[in-house]
C-alpha cells in the first residue's frame, strides 16, 4: 500500500476517477473533501430496496409460515421478520422473482388457499410450490412493512392477457371482471402498485431472447399494462446482464421513453468464477481482496451503462434500476444447492457498504436497487431456523445507512491509499455522504483493508462541524458472522475515534470496518 489514489465522487454525472500518484507511505492520511454547498441530487430511498423470490426458504419459512403456525404471525406472515425489516425501513420490495417470475401464473395464487393448484418450482430445487403465498399475501406483507410493492410480470411463459388481467386485478376500481374477482377474494379497494417489471432476465431464464426481440416484446406487453383508477405505474424493462452493454444500447434505442426504468443485474462472485464461487465463511485474504475487486466492478458498470443511457436520455428521465445485486457464494454445506442458502460475514457487509456508496454517488441515474435476497437466500438480511431468527452483518449496514434515504447527496472527493495484494490494487476507502432534511450530514466510510487502519482528514465545504457522533461495524475476524448460537457476534457499536477540526474533522477508520459519522 504505497501509492495514493484519487476518487472523485460527484452526483451529476457521478464520476469515480481513479489515478495513481507519487508513492507515499501507508501512514499518509486519506484526505476527504465534502462539498455540502453542492448537494443537488436526492438519494432515492429505493436504492435501499429488497428482493424476495419464491426460492428456497425466502418466502416459505422466511416470510410465510401460515396462520396456524406456532411461530407468531399476522395473517400467516412472521412477526419477528416483519419487525426486523421495518427497522431497516425497507422502502420497496420486488416479487415474485427472479427466474420464478417468468413461470409464475398469478391466478394460481389467489382464492381459498386449500383450493390453489400446486406447481413445480423448476428453477429452484424442483420443489412443490403450493401457491399459498400469492398476490394478496404479498400486498399484505408490503402493507405490514410499509414498503412499496414492485411486481415482476411473466413475459417468458405468460400471455399478454395474463399480464393485463393481473394489473387490472391489483389496481382497478371499476366494475370489471378482474376487479370483481379481487373483491370476491376479500379485497374491496385496489392496491397501489407503483412499480411493475415487464419480465426478468429475458436474455436468460426469462426466455433467452435477443435484445431486439425483447424490445419488441416489451413494447407489446407494456401496451396492455394499464394505469387504472389513478394508479400510475413506473414501468421497468428487463435490462442487461452485467457487462452486456449492447443490451442497453438496443433497449434505449428501440424502447426509449416507453419505459421509466431499465434494470441491471450484477452479482459479486468472490473468485470471479461462477464454477467455483467459494465458501461464504472459509476464505483467506486473497479471496477477501478478490471479493472487493469484483464488487467494485459495480462502479464501472453503473458508469458505463449510464453513459449509454445518457446518449439517448441526457435528461436522465429513465432510471437505472439495479434490481438484483449482492454476493453469490457456494451454498452452505449440506443444504439444497437449489435453495441458494449462504452465511453472511463481515466481508459481505463491506461489499454492501461499498456498493451502496456507489449507488448513492450515482443517484442521478440509479433510482432503485434491490439486494438479492431478503431472507435465507444469497446475501440475506435475515436468516431463520424454524422459530429462530437472526440478522446478518449486511442487515446492519442497511440499518446504519438509513439516514441516506431520500437525503441530498453531498459530493465527496477522496484521496487515499490503495489496498494492494499480490500486485492487485484497489482503493482502500469507499465513501458517500448526504445531508438530511434537518441539515445533518452523514458520511459512510468503508475501510476495505483487513489489517490496516487508515487516518482520514476531512474538509467540509459549505458547512461547519459542531457535534459529531458515529457508529462502527467491525469484528476481530474477517469471516466473523452471526449464528443461531451467537446471533450478536457482529453488530454495530458506538464509534468515537474522531475529532472536529477548524475545517472539518479527523478520524481513524479501523481495519475492515464500516463507519457512519453524523456531523
Ligand atoms: O437471485 C437469484 C436469481 O439470480 C434470480 O432468480 C435470477 O433473476 C438471477 O439469475
Closest CA to 365 of 62, 4, 16: 16
> Would strands 16-17 and 4-9 be described as parallel, antiparallel, or unpaired?
antiparallel
Question: What does the pLDDT average to over 420-435?
Answer: 97
Residue pair 227/174 in contact (Cβ under 8 Å)? The answer is no
Q: Is the pLDDT of residue 13 over 60?
A: no
List residues near ligand 1 (CB under 6 A).
53, 97-99, 200-201, 324, 372-373, 378
Q: What pLDDT score was predicted for residue 27? A: 56
Q: Is the pLDDT of residue 20 over 70?
A: no
- Ligand 1 centroid, distance to 98 Cα (angstroms): 5
Q: Is the pLDDT of residue 264 over 60?
A: yes
Q: Is the pLDDT of residue 26 over 70?
A: no
State the DSSP H helix or E strand holding residue 461, giving kind and residue range, or none if neither: strand 454-461
Question: What does the pLDDT average to over 93-122?
Answer: 98
Q: Is the pLDDT of residue 236 over 70?
A: yes
Which one from 53, 129, 294, 324 is the annotated catalytic residue? 324
Residues 6 or more apart in contact with residue 480 via CB below 8 angstroms: 345, 346, 393, 489, 490
Q: What is the pLDDT of residues 143-179, one digit of tens each?
A: 999 999 999 999 999 999 999 999 999 999 999 999 9
Q: What is the pLDDT of residues 283-330, one digit of tens each?
A: 999 999 999 999 999 999 999 999 999 999 999 999 999 999 999 999
Q: Is the pLDDT of residue 183 over 50?
A: yes
**CA 265, CA 53: separation in Å to the nearest integer?**
15
Q: What is the pLDDT of residues 348-378, one digit of tens each?
A: 999 999 999 999 999 999 999 999 999 999 9
- Ligand 1 centroid, distance to 341 Cα (angstroms): 13
Residue pair 331/340 in contact (Cβ under 8 Å)? The answer is yes
Question: What does the pLDDT average to over 189-209?
Answer: 98
Task: pLDDT band for 262, please (50, 70, 90 cuts).
Answer: very high
249 is catalytic: no
Residue pair 290/254 in contact (Cβ under 8 Å)? The answer is no
Q: Which range among 22-31, 322-331, 388-397 shows the weakest confidence by mean pLDDT?
A: 22-31
Q: What pLDDT score was predicted for residue 229? A: 83
324 is catalytic: yes
Percent of the chain with pLDDT over 90: 93
Distance, C-alpha 498 to centroid of its chain: 30
Question: What does the pLDDT average to over 449-463?
Answer: 96
The chain-wide mean pLDDT, for the chain, equals 94
Ligand 1 atom nearest 326 alpha carbon: 1
Ligand 1 atom nearest 200 alpha carbon: 8
Amino acid at each position: 500500500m504505497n501509492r495514493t489514489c484519487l476518487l472523485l465522487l460527484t452526483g451529476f454525472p457521478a464520476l469515480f476517477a481513479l489515478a495513481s500518484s507519487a508513492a507515499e507511505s501507508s501512514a499518509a492520511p486519506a484526505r476527504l473533501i465534502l462539498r455540502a454547498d453542492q448537494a443537488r441530487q436526492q438519494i432515492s430511498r429505493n436504492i435501499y430496496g429488497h428482493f424476495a423470490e419464491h426460492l428456497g426458504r425466502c418466502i416459505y419459512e422466511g416470510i410465510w409460515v401460515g396462520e396456524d403456525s406456532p411461530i407468531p404471525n399476522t395473517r400467516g406472515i412472521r412477526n419477528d421478520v416483519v419487525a426486523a425489516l421495518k427497522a431497516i425501513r425497507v422502502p420497496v420490495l420486488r416479487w415474485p422473482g427472479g427466474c420464478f417470475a417468468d413461470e409464475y401464473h398469478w391466478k394460481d395464487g389467489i382464492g381459498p388457499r386449500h383450493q390453489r393448484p400446486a406447481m413445480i418450482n423448476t428453477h429452484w430445487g424442483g420443489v412443490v410450490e403450493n401457491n399459498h403465498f400469492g398476490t394478496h399475501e404479498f400486498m399484505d406483507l408490503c402493507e405490514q412493512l410499509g414498503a412499496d410493492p414492485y411486481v415482476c410480470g411473466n413475459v417468458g411463459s405468460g400471455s399478454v392477457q395474463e399480464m393485463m388481467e393481473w394489473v387490472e386485478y391489483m389496481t382497478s376500481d371499476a366494475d370489471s371482471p378482474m376487479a370483481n374477482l379481487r373483491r370476491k377474494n376479500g379485497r374491496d379497494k385496489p392496491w397501489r402498485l407503483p412499480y411493475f417489471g415487464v419480465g426478468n432476465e429475458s436474455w436468460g431464464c426469462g426466455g433467452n431472447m435477443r435484445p431486439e426481440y425483447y424490445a419488441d416484446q416489451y413494447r407489446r406487453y407494456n401496451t396492455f399494462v394499464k394505469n387504472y383508477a389513478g394508479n400510475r405505474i413506473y414501468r421497468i424493462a428487463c435490462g442487461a446482464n452485467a457487462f452486456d452493454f449492447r443490451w442497453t444500447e438496443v433497449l434505449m434505442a428501440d424502447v426509449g421513453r416507453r419505459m421509466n426504468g431499465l434494470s441491471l443485474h450484477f452479482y459479486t462472485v468472490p473468485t470471479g468464477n461462477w464454477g467455483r464461487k467459494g465458501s461464504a465463511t472459509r476464505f483467506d485474504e486473497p479471496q477477501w481482496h478478490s471479493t472487493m475487486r469484483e464488487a467494485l466492478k459495480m462502479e464501472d458498470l453503473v458508469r458505463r451503462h449510464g453513459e449509454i443511457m445518457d446518449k439517448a436520455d441526457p435528461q436522465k428521465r429513465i432510471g437505472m434500476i439495479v434490481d438484483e445485486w449482492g454476493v453469490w457464494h457456494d451454498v452452505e454445506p449440506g443444504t439444497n444447492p437449489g435453495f441458494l442458502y449462504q452465511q453472511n460475514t463481515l466481508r459481505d457487509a463491506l461489499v454492501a457498504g461499498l456498493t451502496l456508496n456507489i449507488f448513492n454517488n450515482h443517484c442521478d441515474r440509479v433510482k432503485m436497487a434491490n439486494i438479492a435476497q431478503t431472507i435465507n437466500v444469497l446475501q440475506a438480511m435475515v436468516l431463520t431456523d424454524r422459530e429462530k431468527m437472526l440478522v446478518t452483518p449486511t442487515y446492519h449496514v442497511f440499518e446504519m445507512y438509513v439516514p441516506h434515504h431520500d437525503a441530498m447527496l453531498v459530493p465527496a472527493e477522496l484521496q487515499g491509499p490503495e489496498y494492494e495484494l499480490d500486485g492487485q490494487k484497489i482503493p482502500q476507502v469507499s465513501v458517500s455522504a448526504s445531508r438530511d432534511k434537518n441539515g445533518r450530514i452523514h458520511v459512510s466510510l468503508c475501510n476495505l483493508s483487513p489489517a490496516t487502519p487508515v487516518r482520514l482528514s476531512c474538509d467540509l465545504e459549505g458547512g461547519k462541524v459542531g457535534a459529531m457522533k458515529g457508529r462502527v461495524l467491525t469484528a476481530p475476524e474477517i469471516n466473523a458472522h452471526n449464528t443461531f448460537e451467537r446471533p450478536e457476534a457482529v453488530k454495530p457499536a458506538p464509534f468515537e475515534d474522531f475529532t472536529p477540526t477548524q475545517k472539518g474533522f479527523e478520524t481513524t477508520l479501523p481495519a475492515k470496518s464500516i463507519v457512519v459519522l453524523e456531523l
